[in-house]
Structure formats: structure tokens, C-alpha cells
Amino acid sequence: MATAIHPSSPPGANQGTHEVFNQAPPLQGVDMYRSNVALVEAVQREGAAWIDEQASEIGRFAGSAEAIEMSRLANENTPVLRTHDRFGNRIDEVSYHPAYHHFMWASISHGLHCIPWSAQRPGAHAARAAAFMTISQAEGGHGCPISMTCAVVPSLRKQPELAAAWEPSLFSRSYDPRLIDPAEKKGITCGMSFTEKQGGSDLRANTTRAQPIGEGGAGGEYELTGHKWFCSAPMSDMFLITAQTEEGISCFLVPRVLPDSSRNRFYIQRLKDKLGNRSNASAEIELDGAWAQMVGEPGRGVATVVEMINHTRLDCVLGSAAGMRLGVALATHHCAGRAAFGKPLIEQPLMRNVLADLCIESEAATATAMRLARAYDEAHDDGQTGENGTQAQLFKRIATAVAKYWTCKRGPAHAAEALECLGGNGYVEESGMPRLYREMPVNSAWEGSGNVICLDVLRAIVKQPACLDAFVAELELAAGADERFDSHLARMKDELSSFDDAERRARKIVESMALALQGSLVVRHAPPAVADAFCASRLAGDAGLEYGTLPASCDFAAIVERGRAQIA
């Protein structure tokens, strides 16, 4: 269908020597939820239909000119550390641009930090996932404290009396950025700090020490001394932090401000100068006798924080899927509004191939993210039964790592290709594409880089073989629907039939599992055009290594039209 190419300047504007035309208008005034057809369908499918209207409200905000401008401001005016006040007192405060606070207010007022725990409705994780993906298209950096505030709850509940004391404030839908006694605040946020210079993902290499005050033990008081290489969202009110005790690595709750309103001995050494995620602060911190309370059993710190880590890994998948969707929306919109060589870019065969490929990747990521979110709902509803747990828990355990690896790995290349669809326009900051490109790698690096995640998949299979059985059972729901999927599933099973040299092959194994999971979802739930193109290109190998190499049999027009974000 032909698309009119409109002048991008208002009538009568003074253009000097020329008239500006053949430039796509801004992508604003669009509902970023409703226009994401694959997401809307997944919300219905995964049991979260009750969030539909609220997600649309968030979508209208995310696609507004106001949100686009605030995202620019929040990222161009990065957080600033003030270690001392003008009298020389140590204060360790981070100042953010008001635009960042506005996004925090928007997400918290909609409950994106607490819906899974406070909503008391079926499909709460899936509902929150859809809303989180929608607002993340507007601004990704603020999602870090939103994610951690949501993710801390299952770990905090390892110490019931601490959960009872902190959850009411964590579940508040009021955003209060003041650094004061949490008991006096309208609402609070949570951060975490596990990694150290010498250890990275190897938390057992931590050297930060915890000294008991009195008897110590689970729920007991401690003083923490040491250094943390990464501390996410350092202006949060409370943190989960790991440290060594006589029993081994343990987990602690560390407040920024103590009940007497004095500042805890939690010192910010510097803010990280990051590639992306620039609206959000990440810091190096020093703990010099910081007051803390143990969460969970002594020496069981890794086991205590693993649920928080898993929930933040889920959000890495959601964030990458959101970034892919934004890339598709911007690329298809630009190509519909710009012509070259006599017709709109969106109608030109090679560009249409590229756009369709980007759309397929985005839809597969969205379907995977929402199915994973449903697994969290099912695991939460089922509770723990037996040594290995329920099918939902087993599937969640392995699918989280598989989806985190593949979706987050695909993100940066997807953003680069979407940027290139805009040509030179996409390479300049005003387009928003460079910010998207810089943002994408954080989801792959955070909460376990690619190698760490792949080894985690192998560990799950070895320690809990029932995890793999649950994963394969999910894939087999699509058996018989497409011969190409069936053949890939057989190859995946063959890849997993022997664990000889498995560590070297880990990335290949997890990639095969991820494609099988995505294939099973698109074959069952996506339109025939999308499912056929996915199976041909991703499973049957009828494509090249770059985007835009789909086979001629694909219905390019149908795929691109489904993926477009159209202004109402």
C-alpha cells in the first residue's frame, strides 16, 4: 500500500533557501502498547487481560512528545555525585534531573515495582511484564531501581520479620526520592550490591566482611566493612549486599539512613561513567562498619539472593524485548515516511526484507518474554512441592537463563540494524537511536554475562535434570505443527544427548535451546507469515548471518505491516 510522504515542517515556516520535505515526522502521539500487536495478543494469551487499559495508559504516555523529551533530558543530564555539603560534612548524595524523577514517579504510580506481590490477581507477573516493557520503550535507565525494588521481595521473605517491616513501604505507589529515615517516607526503593573488583560474578570471592553485633545469625545485626565494585541505584533506601561471615557468604539488608535519621556508614566513592543506561546511577561504594541485618541463614547468601537475581534476569529479557520493539517502531515509521529512488523505503524489496527480519526478531523476543513471565506466575501460584518443585518452577529455572542469554545477545545487533534503517538520521543523537544502541548491551552484561548464563544452564541440567524435562515438555507442545521446527527440536535433543566437552559447546547448546523455545511459541501463536519466516530463517537456515536475508517465500508486506507502530 502506497504511503504519502508529507512535508515535515509546519506551513509557513521560514526555510531560507529551501523547503524541507521527504523527512518522516516524529514518532509521537502513538500508544506504544496498543500499536505493539504481538504484545497485546500475548497479554490476552498469558492471562493478564486485566492490565490492558492500564497498559494502554502507560503506552500513551510512553509515546507522547512529553516522554520523548524527558527521556532526552534524563540521559543528557546524567546523575551527579555530591560527596560533601558546603560545610565539609559527608553526605554521599546523587542528584538526578527532574525528568528522571518523572519516569520514576510514572512507573511507581502504576505499580511496576510491586504488581506481582501486591495485585493479588492471576497473571500479575505477566501484567507487570507488559507494562514494564511498554514504559521501557520511553526510557530504559530508570527501570533498574524499578526492577530491583520488585525483585527484592522473594529474597527478603527469607527473613519474614524483615519482610513484614519493609514490604508496606516497598509496595507503596508513592515515589519519594528524599534521603531520610525510611519510616518517614511515603514509599521506598531498593538497590543491590554484590560484585567486587576481584570477583565479579564469583560472589564467593567477596572480601567484604560482616562482624556480628551481639549474637548475630539470621535477622541479627552486623557491621559490614569492605568495597563493592558495582552498586546499582545508590540513592535507594535499602540494599541487599553480600559479605563474608565465619559460615561463608551471607546476605544482608543495608539501609542508607538509620532509624535515628543518621546516615549509615555507606560511602559512594564515584559514579561509573557508563556506555549506556546513563540516566541511572551506578556506583562504587565503601562500607566502613555499615549497620546491617542478616537476611536468610548464615553462609547461605548466594541461595538467598538467587531469587532476586532471577527476577532481575527476567527484567533483562523484558528490557531487551522492549528495546527491540522500539527499534522496530522507529525503523518502520521512518521507512514509511521517507522515499528514495521513486517510492517509499518501506515498499522497496531489500528494505522490506530488513524490516521484516527485525519485526520477526522483535515478535519472537516479545512472545518469549511474556511466556517467561507467565512461568513466574505459575511458579508463584504453585508453591514449592518436593525436592525439584513443580513443572512451572522447573521450567522457570532453566528458561530464565536460556531467554536471558539469547534475547539479550540479540539486542545490540538488532538496535544497530534498526539504526541503519534511518541512515544518517539514525546516527545522530536527536533520533534517539544512538541512545537505544548504547542501552542494549547492559541487559546482556548485567546479572551474568553470556558465559556465566550458559554455564548456569548447564549447571541446572546437571543438578536438576527435571528442569530439562520441563523445558522439552514446553517445546513439544508445538510438535507436528511445522517440519522445520520438528527437525530443529530433534537436533537440539541430539546436542543435549551427550555432555562431553559441554562447557566449550555451552553457547551453541543454549542458542539451540533458545531458538527452539522461540520457535515453539511463534509456531503456536504468531500469524502464519511470521511463523513461516521464523522457521525458514532461524530453524531451517534459509537465511544469511545478517538481518535482511530472509528467503523470497516470506510474506514481507504482512510481517512489516503487523510490526508498524502507527500514529492514531
| HSE-CB of 332 using CA atoms within 13 angstroms | 29
Question: What is the span of the domain harbouring residue 65?
Answer: 37-170
Q: Tell me, yes or no, whether 278 and 368 share the same domain.
A: no
Q: Would you say residue 389 has pLDDT above 80? A: no
CATH of the domain at 270: 2.40.110.20
What's the pLDDT at 568? 63
Helices (H), 496-536: 506-525, 528-534
Q: Tell me, yes or no, whether 314 and 365 share the same domain.
A: yes
What's the pLDDT at 1? 44
* Grid cell for residue 39: 504484545
Using a CB cutoff of 8 Å and minimum separation of 24, what contacts does 379-385 make? 380/116, 380/125, 381/122
Q: Looking at the domain assignment, is residue 116 inside a domain?
A: yes
* C-beta atoms surrounding 218 within 10 Å: 18
Q: Tell me, yes or no, whether 209 and 164 share the same domain.
A: no
Beta strands in 111-237 (DSSP E): 190-193, 209-213, 221-232
Strands 90-95 and 190-193 turn out to be unpaired
Which carries the bigger pLDDT value, residue 387 or residue 403?
403
The identity of residue 353, as a single letter, is: N
User: 272: exposed, middle or buried (C-beta count within 10 Å: 0-12, 13-18, 19+)?
Assistant: middle
CATH of the domain at 400: 1.20.140.10
Q: Tell me, yes or no, whether 57 and 127 share the same domain.
A: yes
Q: Looking at the domain assignment, is residue 25 inside a domain?
A: no
Q: Looking at the domain assignment, is residue 13 inside a domain?
A: no
Q: Tell me, yes or no, whether 42 and 132 share the same domain.
A: yes
Sign of the CA dihedral running 104, 258, 216, 248: positive
* The last residue of a domain, from among 116, 142, 170: 170
Q: What is the DSSP letter of 283?
A: E
Q: Looking at the domain assignment, is residue 402 inside a domain?
A: yes
Q: Tell me, yes or no, whether 44 and 150 share the same domain.
A: yes
User: 505: exposed, middle or buried (C-beta count within 10 Å: 0-12, 13-18, 19+)?
Assistant: middle
Provide the whole-model pTM.
0.95
**Confidence bin at 2 (pLDDT 50/70/90):** very low
* The last residue of a domain, from among 170, 196, 219: 170
What's the pLDDT at 6? 52
Among 252, 237, 328, 321, smallest CA distance to 290 is for 252
Among 5, 97, 116, 68, smallest CA distance to 342 is for 5
Read off φ and ψ for residue 202, nearest 5 degrees: -85, 85
**Tens digit of each residue's pLDDT (9 = 90 or more) over 462-490:** 999 999 999 999 999 999 999 999 999 99
User: Residues 449-470: what's their mean pLDDT?
Assistant: 96
Q: What does the alpha-carbon distance between residue 389 and residue 467 come to, in Å, rounded to a whole number?
A: 10
Q: Tell me, yes or no, whether 65 and 148 share the same domain.
A: yes
Q: Tell me, yes or no, whether 284 and 312 share the same domain.
A: no
**Tens digit of each residue's pLDDT (9 = 90 or more) over 348-385:** 999 999 999 999 999 999 999 999 999 999 997 665 53
* The last residue of a domain, from among 266, 301, 336: 301
User: How many domains is the chain partitioned into structurally?
Assistant: 3
Q: Tell me, yes or no, whether 380 and 467 share the same domain.
A: yes
